[in-house]
Amino acid sequence: MSKASKTVYVCIECGAQAPKWAGQCTDCGAWNTLQETVAAPMVKADGRFGGYAGDNGARIRVLSDVVAEHTERLPTGMTELDRVLGGGLVTGSVVLIGGDPGIGKSTLLIQALALLAQHKPALYVSGEESAEQISLRARRLGLPGERLRVLTETCVERILALAARDKPGVLVLDSIQTFYTDALQSAPGSVAQVRESAARLVRFAKQTGTSLFLVGHVTKEGALAGPRVLEHMVDTVLYFEGESGSQFRLVRAIKNRFGAVNELGVFAMSDKGLREVANPSAIFLSRHEQQVAGSCILVTREGTRPLLVEVQALVDQSPLANPRRVALGLEQNRLSMLLAVLHRHGGVGLFDQDVFLNVVGGVRVTEPAADLPVLLSVLSSFRDRPLPGDLATFGEVGLAGEIRPVPNGQERLREAAKHGFKKVILPKANAPKKRMEGVDVIAVNRIGEAIDALA
Ligand code: TYD
Ligand code: MG
């Protein structure tokens, strides 16, 4: 096999190049920073323009003269997946799907691809499973297999050669950590291999207008060489969320050049594969027989859809000198900040208490609208006094103790009302102009008012 391209080792700290791998960069002295990369082909300097030679046909244009062709969107046949993609799969787009091993990436893609194959030639390339395994799974899921083609291969060059002949409209590569390119000598799964293999695949997708799905494993810490380094190369990044113990699987758009970010698709893993959950609000509410202290319903908004989730807090006398603050599904620093606000502006100090916080169902809430519900659930647990069962709430809390408005207040209010909540505590600036039938709206300006509203 002839080597068309040369490889060099580049220090990721200072950018110095070395012909061979070494433990330490000779330039900056950093340890373990040399990574194999394909050397850029040398441009022959012709002396003009400071050595920038070569006319490859690129030209500068006026923006208004550039007419975008209509981007074609192909429905995947799974509405929840279409939702996170921003309304269907865009032709020629590259989508990265990340998540823990075993969370359901292959299942989701084989399901979507079997449906897509009815409209467009589709090819599923697996570096992990044999064709028999894939067929077995598709059969068990009851998927039509007549039009779906599979390939088990791990060399990117060979895959691309086959794909160029086969011309699939949709191409799935499962998973990027298993593929390698001949251009590099590093082992599959190393940062250099993952990046270079992906770059070749992305180039192919853009040149041929093929829609490409790349699968990538991430560990809990997101540390594994892989998906993280690809995020900037692709159009859309989707990540699986949710606890592996729960049957629910959330797919979130972290980046999307063709739609809203933070959009959430909700699935349930069953014996027939991933089922779509059309009304996700209902599943995250654990309806208690009896109201319990420390539970508060939050109206959050994920992407373009409001969602009701339950926040639970447990406040308990701490045996430690430094009491613990543990937040699952929410930001830990935010919790510390809110506890400080609660003390300073609400008059409730929790210095000698451990505070645990959890969002039910493995959802991750990143928006500040969770502030007020967090404080109310903490307070409820601390006082051991349950909140009313028909209460829902949302609102950002500022450092001065003020309750700030959040986007799309009306929509959140309507979602709460739709699910039968009769009492809603919200920021004053989010209060509706007209009275709402059957809902007691409590608009608050300051943290003290919210606490008083519960008394
Ligand atoms: P998989 O899609 O293989 O995970 P990934 O590709 O992300 O590594 O999903 C595997 C898990 O899903 C496995 O633990 C079994 C479970 N599963 C079901 O519960 N029902 C099903 O119908 C299928 C296909 C998988
Ligand atoms: Mg898999």
Any ligand 1 atom below 6 A from CB of 409: no
Ligand at minimal distance from the CA of 242 is 1
| CA separation, residue 284 to residues 280, 312, 319, 426 (Å) | 7, 12, 32, 20
Output the pLDDT for position 2.
45
Q: Which atom of ligand 1 is nearest to the CA of 110?
A: 2
Any ligand 1 atom below 6 A from CB of 135: no
Ligand at minimal distance from the CA of 98 is 1
Any ligand 1 atom below 6 A from CB of 275: no
Please tell me the distance from the alpha carbon of residue 188 to that of residue 153, in angstroms, as a whole number.
13
| CB-CB contact of 376 with 296 (8 Å) | yes
| DSSP, residue by residue, 268-330 | EEETTEEEE-S-HHHHH----SS--TTEEEEEEEETTEEEEEEEEEEEEE--SSS--EEEESS
The residues facing 238 across adjacent strands are 97, 253
| CB-CB contact of 393 with 406 (8 Å) | no
Selected residue with higher pLDDT from 64 and 163: 163
Nearest residue CA, atom 24 of ligand 1? 273
Please tell me the distance from the alpha carbon of residue 30 to that of residue 302, in angstroms, as a whole number.
42
Any ligand 1 atom below 6 A from CB of 269: yes
Please tell me the distance from the alpha carbon of residue 266 to that of residue 168, in angstroms, as a whole number.
28
Nearest residue CA, atom 8 of ligand 1? 102
Nearest residue CA, atom 2 of ligand 1? 104
Q: Which atom of ligand 1 is nearest to the CA of 269?
A: 19
Structure tokens at 35: 């990574």
Any ligand 1 atom below 6 A from CB of 246: no
Ligand 2: centre distance to CA 398 (Å): 43
Q: Which atom of ligand 1 is nearest to the CA of 141?
A: 22
Any ligand 1 atom below 6 A from CB of 107: yes
Output the pLDDT for position 274.
92
Any ligand 1 atom below 6 A from CB of 137: yes
CA torsion through residues 166, 169, 173, 176, sign: positive
Cβ neighbour number for residue 422 with a 10 Å cutoff: 14
Any ligand 1 atom below 6 A from CB of 273: yes
Any ligand 1 atom below 6 A from CB of 138: no
Ligand at minimal distance from the CA of 104 is 1
Selected residue with higher pLDDT from 47 and 8: 8
Q: Which atom of ligand 1 is nearest to the CA of 137?
A: 24
Count Cβ atoms within 10 A of the Cβ of residue 181 and give its class: 0-12 exposed, 13-18 middle, 19 or more buried: buried
Residues in contact with 213: Cβ distance below 8 Å, sequence separation at least 6, in sequence order: 95, 96, 97, 109, 113, 170, 171, 172, 173
Q: Does domain 73-278 have CATH number 3.40.50.300?
A: yes
Residue among 100, 107, 133 whose CB has most ligand 1 atoms within 8 A, to mutate: 107
| CA separation, residue 67 to residues 63, 97, 182, 203 (Å) | 9, 30, 38, 22
| CB-CB contact of 121 with 146 (8 Å) | no
Residue among 241, 269, 274 whose CB has most ligand 1 atoms within 8 A, to mutate: 269
Q: How confident is the model at residue 221 (pLDDT cuts 50, 70, 90)?
A: low
Ligand 2: centre distance to CA 249 (Å): 15
Output the pLDDT for position 287.
66
Structure tokens at 214: 């790349």
Task: Supply φ then ψ for residue 319, to 5 degrees.
Answer: -85, -5
Output the pLDDT for position 260.
85
| CB-CB contact of 303 with 253 (8 Å) | yes
Any ligand 1 atom below 6 A from CB of 427: no
pLDDT > 70? residue 52: no
Nearest residue CA, atom 9 of ligand 1? 104
Any ligand 1 atom below 6 A from CB of 110: no
Average pLDDT, the chain: 88
Q: What is the CA radius of gyration of the chain?
A: 26
Q: How confident is the model at residue 145 (pLDDT cuts 50, 70, 90)?
A: confident
Q: Which helix (H) or strand (E) is 332 found in, with range?
A: helix 332-346
Which span out of 211-215, 240-244, 282-286 was modeled with the highest average pLDDT? 211-215
| CB-CB contact of 425 with 453 (8 Å) | yes
Q: Pick the closest to residue 79 from 280, 215, 221 (CA basis).
A: 280
Domains 73-278 and 283-453 share a fold: no
Q: What percent of the chain has a predicted confidence (pLDDT) above 90?
A: 57
Output the pLDDT for position 296.
94
| CB-CB contact of 402 with 445 (8 Å) | yes
Any ligand 1 atom below 6 A from CB of 103: yes
**Strand, coil or helix: 414:** helix
pLDDT > 50? residue 47: no
Domain ranges of the chain: 1-42, 73-278, 283-453
Q: How many residues does the chain have?
A: 455
pLDDT > 60? residue 225: no
CATH for 283-453, among 1.20.1440.230, 2.130.10.10, 3.30.70.1070, 3.30.230.10?
Answer: 3.30.230.10
Q: Which atom of ligand 1 is nearest to the CA of 272?
A: 22
Q: Which helix (H) or strand (E) is 427 found in, with range?
A: strand 423-427
What pTM was estimated for this model as a whole?
A: 0.80
pLDDT in tens, 383-406: 999 999 899 999 999 999 999 999
Please tell me the distance from the alpha carbon of residue 419 to that of residue 286, in angstroms, as a whole number.
13
Strands 273-276 and 170-174: unpaired
Structure tokens at 131: 């064709």
pLDDT > 80? residue 250: yes
Ligand 2: centre distance to CA 215 (Å): 8
Strands 122-126 and 403-404: unpaired
Ligand 2: centre distance to CA 105 (Å): 6
- Calculate mean pLDDT across residues 277-301: 83
